[in-house]
Amino acid sequence: MPELPEVETIRIGLQSLLPGKTVKKVEHDWPKSFPNSSSDVKKFLIGAKITDVRRRAKVLIIDLSSNYSLITHLKMTGQLVFVPKGHKLTADSSQLTAEKKFGGGHPSNSLVGRLPDKSTRVILEFNGGAKLFFNDQRKFGWMRLLPTIQVPEIDFIKKLGPEPLEDAFTPDIFIERINRRQNSPIKAVILDQTVLAGVGNIYADESLWLAKIHPATPVKKIPKNKRILLYRAIRDILTLSIKSGGSSDKNYVNAEGKKGSYLKFAQVFRRDGQTCPRCGIEIIKIRVAGRGTHICPKEQRLPRGVK
């Protein structure tokens, strides 16, 4: 669920909070969430000062003065929440009730509850008493320590496609990269992090709706003008979402434990049963590439002869 805009929002928050802080203590409860040995932690994390907070695709990179980095992938339910010394995050019960009642689409701004909670996997404590909590209900995410110089070399990062918001990512590059997957449904292709980095299920659905392309359309059946529309849609939607502080879906919160507001702007994601803002037809939910997929059945049609 944290996709590029959510991770970027967290990065911006942590960049304003972490640099200059020195790590004093680390606690963790689940080996897959934090696989490093205690001797590495002692040598390269404890006593190190945070120098920078970067992002590549959906991965956050916290650089340390020890020339090691702490890298984190939040997968679906991960959170990184900074709590200043003495500050207690307490959930406002009326906001939590609103959350339950209205679900992820409701533009609430509630804080997470008191931490640590049972989803807490790692706690970093800093000199001065502030803490950074890595929470992850489903335990798919991970945090690990490695030499900064090795970050670009780990398999996952090495294979990543280009950052879609960088200037170097041109329409020609987008078209060339999706062409590697001629027979795949376009949704599977833009979700593939080795084609381009950072798009997940929410922004895939939104982009394809904006470009009026059926998510199951094989790449080779998409005309060039539509490919360019899709390229623009992806960039516009990711940019808008970052401006909105990321989405407000389910488990996502920013570095201060607050929700974003992007889903207020979402046109199709989780809006099945509601009407398409452009044409008024009911949005439906289907399954494409093994994932829940939301489309306008009138404007996003499969080309003749496909499936």
Partner DNA sequence: CACTTGACCTGTCCGC
Partner DNA sequence: TGCGGACAGGTCAAGT
Are 82 and 18 spatial neighbours (Cβ–Cβ below 8 Å)? yes
Candidates 40-48, 105-113, 180-188, 229-237: pick the segment binding DNA (CB under 7 A). 180-188
Is 2 catalytic? The answer is yes
Find the binder of DNA among 88, 100, 224, 304 (CB under 7 A): 100
For residue 59, the minimal CB distance to DNA (Å) is: 7
Residue 285 interacting with DNA (CB under 7 A)? yes
Residues 81, 123, 130, 188: which binds DNA (CB under 7 A)? 188
Instruction: Tell me how far CA of residue 116 lies from CA of 53, 80, 81, 90, 183, in angstroms.
Output: 23, 12, 10, 11, 46
Residue 58 makes CB contacts below 8 A (sequence gap 6+) with 2, 3, 4, 7, 73, 74, 193, 197, 198, 200
Residues 6+ apart with CB under 8 A from 140: 75, 76, 77, 78
- For DNA, which stretch binds (CB under 7 A), given 45-53, 87-95, 168-176, 198-206? 198-206
Binding mask 121-140 for DNA (x = CB under 7 A): ----------------xxxx
202 is an interface residue for DNA by CB under 7 A: yes
Instruction: Name the DSSP letter for residue 267.
Output: S
Identify which range of 16-24, 107-115, 178-186, 232-240 contacts DNA by CB under 7 A.
Answer: 178-186
User: What kind and span of H or E run contains 123?
Assistant: strand 120-126
Q: Which residues make Cβ contacts (< 8 Å) with residue 194, sequence separation at least 6?
A: 159, 160, 161
- Residues across the chain: 307
Check 11, 21, 55, 58 and give the catalytic one: 58
**Residue 25 designated active-site:** no
Handedness of CA 185, 182, 190, 280 (dihedral sign): negative
Which of 291, 299, 301, 303 is flagged as catalytic?
A: 291
Q: Minimum distance from CB of 141 to DNA (Å)?
A: 9
CA dihedral 107, 3, 141, 44 (to 10 degrees): -110
Measured from the CB of residue 154, what is the shortest distance to DNA in angstroms?
Answer: 8
Rounded to an integer, what distance in angstroms lies between the CA atom of residue 266 and that of residue 209?
Answer: 10
**Residue 120 in contact with DNA, rule: CB under 7 A:** no
Give the shortest CB-49-to-DNA separation in angstroms: 28
Of residues 119 and 248, the one with the C-beta less far from DNA:
119
DSSP string spanning 61-115?
EEEETTSEEEEEE-TTTEEEEEE-TT------HHHHHHHHHH-TTS---PPP-SS
Q: Is 184 in the site for DNA (CB under 7 A)?
A: yes
Nearest CA to 208 among 192, 185, 242? 185
Q: Is 3 marked active-site? A: yes
Minimum distance, C-beta of residue 305 to DNA, in the bound complex (Å): 16
Least Cβ distance, residue 3 to DNA (angstroms)? 5
* Residues at the interface with DNA (CB under 7 A): 1-3, 32, 57-58, 73, 75-76, 100, 103, 118-119, 137-140, 155-156, 159, 180-185, 188, 191, 193, 200-202, 285, 289-292
Catalytically active residues, by annotation: 2-3, 58, 291
